[in-house]
Homo-oligomer: A and B are copies of this chain.
């Protein structure tokens, strides 16, 4: 239960930022390197790496480093608890 609570805190926090959501949107169409994720964003590579770390902490993104390239991919199953929580509230819409 506590674990689930922490997971929801983390995933909702990760989604509460437009830059991180745009990274997730980009990864929805396929894996990308950190540099590719940074390309459309007006921020440093270091800032992008920090955002990726937040997305990794909630399990929404996984990354693998080969040589100098870190490739990120999405794991949409990490969204399930959040989707479930929201849909439970929606059932009760007046």
Contacts and interface: CB of A to CB of B under 8 A. Distances in A.
A89 B93 contact: no
Contacts of A10: 16
Number of copies: 2
| A contact residues, range | 20 to 34
B79 A90 contact: yes
A38 interface: no
B83 A79 contact: no
A27 to B, nearest CB: 9
A86 to B, nearest CB: 5
Contacts of A85: 15, 21
A77 to B, nearest CB: 7
A44 interface: no
